Chain A
Amino acid sequence: MPIYEQTYRRYEARGPLRRVRFWPITREALRLLLERKAFLLLLVAAWAPFLVRLIQVYVVTRFPEAGRVLPVDGRLFGQFLNGQLVFTLFLSIFGGAGLVANDLRTGAILVYLSRPLTRRDYVLGKLGVLLLLNLSATLAPGFVLYGAALGLAPDQFAAWDLAWIGPAVALHSLVVSGVVSVVALAVSSLSRSARVAGLGFFGLMAGLEVASGIVGGIFRSPGSTLLSVQASLRAIGNALFGIAERGAPLHWIYPASVLALVAAGCLLVLRARVRAVEVVR
């Protein structure tokens, strides 16, 4: 086939390097994800518990006696966000498993890293995808629920002593989304197959949860919470929203430290795996 189009022209408008370089990576990956109808359904499903909680708030504000069975206070938000944890896991599996794995499989990592981008830009871009997805299942419904509660029961929620709920919702959502996202991305970077990465992430999270339950059952120790990422996140949520735990509660500093270590470990994994040159020693 001869060269039949001679439309190539020099590009004269080269500008300075961008300061925020990761955003096109996040935007393009989100666009590809949101083209999948099944994934959109999952995003919609992640808002189902919000509707249930909204009805709860509505019922209790209209029929105060229902508040004895379904109390509406700060704990409601903690329980809601702890419940949303499962959706962050599914969103991370279906939206995040292929984020790095596919780039490693198809060699696209070279396309990214041969551009004026650092490895940090690449990781931030990919992490941004998971953070936005997970925040859409935690922070967004959490804030909307808080807004609805303020609107429906201003006497109850607009009080100064409950002003902490908004910041607590934001903090817990960020912790849950941040930890789950960074773990999912690290697992994605460990494989060249999105399927393997997805199964690996699910196996890791479910396996640690089961192990934590077994150890807790045998030793009756609150320390078993630390074995599981989800249990540690729930423990922080419980501490933030004042939800009573069965047995002796674990001080929040322990699960917070474990989660910080897990996140740091995942960042180290990403640092080792996200490379343009793979050195086999």
Chain B
Amino acid sequence: MSDIEEGPLVEFSDLEVSYGPLQALAGVSGAFAAGATGLLGPNGAGKTTFLKTLLGFLRPDRGRLSAFGLDPVRQPLEVRRRVGYMPEVDCHMAGMTAAAFVAFAGELSGMPRSDAISRAHEVLYYVGLGEARYRTLETYSTGMKQRVKLAQALVHDPDLLLLDEPTNGLDPAGRQEMLALIRDVSERRRMSLILCSHLLRDVEEVCGSVIVFNQGKLAAAGRIGDLTGPRRSVYEVRVKGDAAAFLTDLKDEGCEWREAEDSYRVFLAGGAGPELIFRIAGRCGVQVRHLRPGTESLEDVFLRALGHETVAS
């Protein structure tokens, strides 16, 4: 075990990974620093491929990837013993109780049997399964299975936790509980983690920084605060009249916009204020029925990185 280390835990440069003819990662470069980092992207963006390459399951076609300064291709066992992996898919062992399963996972990570057993009980209490730890895993609900997946990833006290869609299949309350656990692991236990998700809110709640993948490429990276800071003014606008002309004029003025539920999120460039919106509305003969200032959210950053802005549906 080590405390959170200085410098990046995971570095990758010009990383290319393919499944046969299909290129899943196309020359991505970046780094995951210590702490909680989100790995965002739509389905098929290459997030899980990245995690599996990090674990040494896949061999890069090109480029370099290192975790804790180790090469996952040459030293996969050394990397894996310092990593806890919570897979996206269901993973339990038929016929085992949660206590036996987590202890077994600890032993597989190289812990002595007695240590693994005592750690399994501790970790199961920590994730809230203390009372249910002697039940077989087949009897667990989806939420409990997610918790036991987290417990097996934590049992050997990894330096880096890889969480692949940890809130999948959870109801809102279960999701909040899981995120609270992950936040606790990161903030109070000072464990570094990579939270891989397509749910922006999950990442926003837990992580300090984010890396966005899209179609196998790096679309954005940085601290969430920096990415969503007050760089652009954002307004939620609802208009009555010729919206198409209004939006075209907005674009001509260098602003960006995207459709929200029943309104538009308008991103003003160059320090412009709401008067620009009123001026354009007046020019186009549309009524502004609703105007509310906002801040650029991670979702905005994400969609901008994916090139979804200023594209009317």
B87 and A32 form a contact (CB under 8 A): no
Cα(A275)–Cα(B158), bound, Å? 23
B128 and A17 form a contact (CB under 8 A): no
* B residues near A116, Cβ cutoff 8 Å: 77-78, 80-81, 108-110
Question: Nearest chain B CB to A1's CB is how many angstroms away?
Answer: 6
Cα(A32)–Cα(B57), bound, Å? 28
B281 at the interface (CB under 8 A from A): no
B1 and A14 form a contact (CB under 8 A): yes
B52 and A277 form a contact (CB under 8 A): yes
Name the CB-closest residue of B to A118: B77
Q: A14-B1, A106-B94 are in contact. Are A114 and B126 (CB under 8 A)?
A: no
Q: A5-B130, A10-B157, A15-B110 are in contact. Are A110 and B91 (CB under 8 A)?
A: yes
Cα(A24)–Cα(B180), bound, Å? 33
* B residues near A32, Cβ cutoff 8 Å: 95-96
Q: Mark A87-125, 1 if CB is under 8 A from B, else 0.
A: 000000000001000110111111111111110000000
B156 at the interface (CB under 8 A from A): yes
Q: A103-B93, A106-B93, A117-B108 are in contact. Are A11 and B20 (CB under 8 A)?
A: no
- Candidates B20, B92, B185; contact of A279 at CB < 8 Å: B20
Question: Nearest chain A CB to B255's CB is how many angstroms away?
Answer: 44
A12 at the interface (CB under 8 A from B): yes
Of the four ranges (under 10, 10 to 19, 20 to 34, 35 or more), the interface on chain A belongs to 35 or more
* A residues near B177, Cβ cutoff 8 Å: 1-3
B110 and A17 form a contact (CB under 8 A): yes
Q: Which of B68-92 contact A (CB under 8 A)?
A: 76-78, 80-81, 83, 85, 87, 89-92
* A residues near B123, Cβ cutoff 8 Å: 8
Question: Nearest chain B CB to A192's CB is how many angstroms away?
Answer: 12
- Candidates B20, B58, B81; contact of A14 at CB < 8 Å: B81
B92 and A110 form a contact (CB under 8 A): no
B197 at the interface (CB under 8 A from A): no
Q: A1-B177, A276-B52 are in contact. Are A10 and B91 (CB under 8 A)?
A: no
Q: Which of A20-53 contact B (CB under 8 A)?
A: 21, 24-25, 28, 32, 35
A13 at the interface (CB under 8 A from B): yes
Cα(A281)–Cα(B21), bound, Å? 9
- Candidates A11, A24, A102; contact of B115 at CB < 8 Å: A11
Q: A8-B123, A10-B1, A10-B157 are in contact. Are A114 and B78 (CB under 8 A)?
A: no
Question: Nearest chain A CB to B268's CB is how many angstroms away?
Answer: 42
A5 and B110 form a contact (CB under 8 A): no
Cα(A42)–Cα(B58), bound, Å? 42
A4 at the interface (CB under 8 A from B): yes
* A residues near B126, Cβ cutoff 8 Å: 3, 5-8
A18 at the interface (CB under 8 A from B): yes
Tally of chain B residues near chain A (CB < 8 A): 52
Cα(A25)–Cα(B87), bound, Å? 20
Question: Nearest chain A CB to B8's CB is how many angstroms away?
Answer: 21
B92 and A106 form a contact (CB under 8 A): yes
A110 and B122 form a contact (CB under 8 A): no
Q: Which of B17-32 contact A (CB under 8 A)?
A: 19-20
A9 at the interface (CB under 8 A from B): yes
Question: Nearest chain A CB to B121's CB is how many angstroms away?
Answer: 9
* B residues near A25, Cβ cutoff 8 Å: 108
* B residues near A1, Cβ cutoff 8 Å: 128, 173, 177
Question: Nearest chain B CB to A268's CB is how many angstroms away?
Answer: 19
Name the CB-closest residue of B to A105: B94
Cα(A110)–Cα(B105), bound, Å? 11
Name the CB-closest residue of A to B137: A106
A8 and B122 form a contact (CB under 8 A): yes
Among A7, A24, A279, chain B packs the most CB atoms within 10 A around the CB of: A24
* A residues near B180, Cβ cutoff 8 Å: 2-3
- Candidates B89, B107, B130, B189; contact of A110 at CB < 8 Å: B89
Cα(A117)–Cα(B58), bound, Å? 15
Among A8, A14, A18, chain B packs the most CB atoms within 10 A around the CB of: A8
Question: Nearest chain A CB to B120's CB is how many angstroms away?
Answer: 11
Cα(A111)–Cα(B91), bound, Å? 7
Name the CB-closest residue of B to A4: B128
Name the CB-closest residue of B to A102: B94
Q: A10-B157, A24-B107, A25-B108 are in contact. Are A17 and B77 (CB under 8 A)?
A: yes
Question: Nearest chain A CB to B96's CB is how many angstroms away?
Answer: 7
The 9 closest A-B pairs by CB, nearest first: A11-B157, A107-B91, A114-B85, A8-B126, A116-B77, A115-B108, A5-B125, A116-B81, A276-B57
- Can you name 23 A-B residue pairings with CB atoms under 8 Å? A1-B177, A3-B128, A3-B184, A5-B125, A10-B189, A11-B111, A11-B119, A14-B156, A17-B110, A18-B110, A35-B95, A106-B91, A110-B85, A113-B55, A113-B57, A114-B83, A114-B85, A116-B81, A117-B108, A118-B76, A276-B57, A277-B57, A281-B19
If A24-B113, A115-B110, A116-B108 are given as contacts, then 13 extra A-B residue pairs at C-beta distance below 8 Å, sorted by A number, are A3-B180, A5-B128, A8-B122, A8-B154, A11-B115, A18-B110, A28-B107, A103-B93, A110-B87, A110-B91, A114-B87, A275-B57, A277-B52
